[in-house]
Amino acid sequence: MEAQKLDIEIPGPSQALMQLVLRAVRDFELISPGDRIAVGLSGGKDSILLALVLRALQERGDFDFEWTGVHLDQAQPGFDRAGFDHILERCGIPCEVVREDTHSVVQANLKPGQIPCSICSRMRRGILNRWCGENGFNKLAMGHHLDDAVETFFLNLLFQRKLEPLKALTPSQAGVSTIRPMILVEERKVEAWVAEAGISPVACPVCDDYPLSQRRNIKELLRSFESLQPDFRASVRDALYNAGT
């Protein structure tokens, strides 16, 4: 399945970013010859850049795989469908759309004061894994980056009492593995690409309505660590993923 060519010039991932991606792909054996990879597209900056990362890897010629984007239409009120479609068109990203009203199910099962993100995420991953299996894709690529990984580590440490980082590769019993090629990439590199490309990522219309969450509190905590160690995230990256060796 060939990726579409760009009709309008959009900058590709930077060399520094791609070096980190290549390190992750090789160190964690994320891509094997003959893989068929679906890229989970939400419309956010991380997943859009991830699609272009997969295109860049494919164009290198030393990774034999196919890829396409897949987007789950969750029937969320307020989702910027036109904005999402515009980004895909500008970036030339092929995308399959799966429609399933998970929004109503999530809302019906929320407890008072509960944030919907964790329930929504589990449902979304399950649906996308099922779609991959039914359509011959053996891997689902997600756009988690280093900041996500660091935040998840501290969430697990402080609230789950376990030392468990976000995995670069998560095998699945259903035959579909989850890969995170950008797990060594700092979020600031993603933000720099967005600014250079001049695109407007599509925000989740549900999550943004919940300003208070443990993850947002962790973000504030990690920002305070930077006053002690400006290169804090890179230090944690090397500790968690042996990326400095």
pLDDT tens digits, 27-54: 999 999 999 999 999 999 999 999 999 9
What does the block give as tokens for 173? 């019993």
242: Cα within 13 Å, side-chain hemisphere:
4
In angstroms, the Cα distances linking 48 to 87, 95, 159, 162, 209 are 8, 11, 31, 31, 22
Separation CA 179–CA 111 (nearest Å) = 31
pLDDT tens digits, 181-229: 999 999 999 999 999 999 999 988 777 656 557 888 898 899 899 889 9
41-66 in b/e burial notation, b at 16+ Cβ within 10 A?
Answer: bbbbbbbbbbbbbbbbbbeeeebebb
List the domain boundaries for the chain: 15-241
How large is the C-alpha radius of gyration of the chain?
18
Neighbours of 220 (CB within 10 A): 8
Architecture of domain 15-241: 3-Layer(aba) Sandwich (3.40)
pTM over 0.75: yes
